[in-house]
Amino acid sequence: MMLLSLLMALSLSMIMLLIYWLVSYSPAYSSSKLTSFECGYSPLSLPRRPFSVRYFILVVLFLVFDVETVLLFPLLTSMTTLESVATGLMLTMFLLILLVGLLYEWYNSMLEWVM
């Protein structure tokens, strides 16, 4: 039974690859499309062009809030199962710290993309 499942999976994969190969359209590529793409900059341009520090600050802030959001999900899950005062207090403190951080960034206009 296991061998039959393996053979069916392999044959289905091969059939799908064959159909893709027969149906796919491959246009003639230009030389610019075959070059590497590095963050919107040409790899042949001057390497010492200045970067905007605002972009990097915004990316770091996004990562910080993204990680905090990931940490919030298990806390909310445990909140629904435990129903204790300590968990509720921990959730409230966590959200308060997030709110204070967000208000600080907003007050210092760190979230503005254009200066």
Q: Is the pLDDT of residue 43 over 60?
A: no
d(CA 59, CA 20): 38
pLDDT, one tens digit per residue, over 93-115 is 888 988 898 888 888 887 776 65
Average confidence (pLDDT) over 49-71: 78
Q: What are the phi and psi torsion angles at 28 (to 5°)?
A: -70, 125
- Both tokens of 106, joined, read 């907003």
Taking CA 58 as the corner, what is the angle to CA 56 and CA 60, rounded to the nearest 5 degrees?
70
Instruction: Output the average pLDDT for the chain.
Output: 78
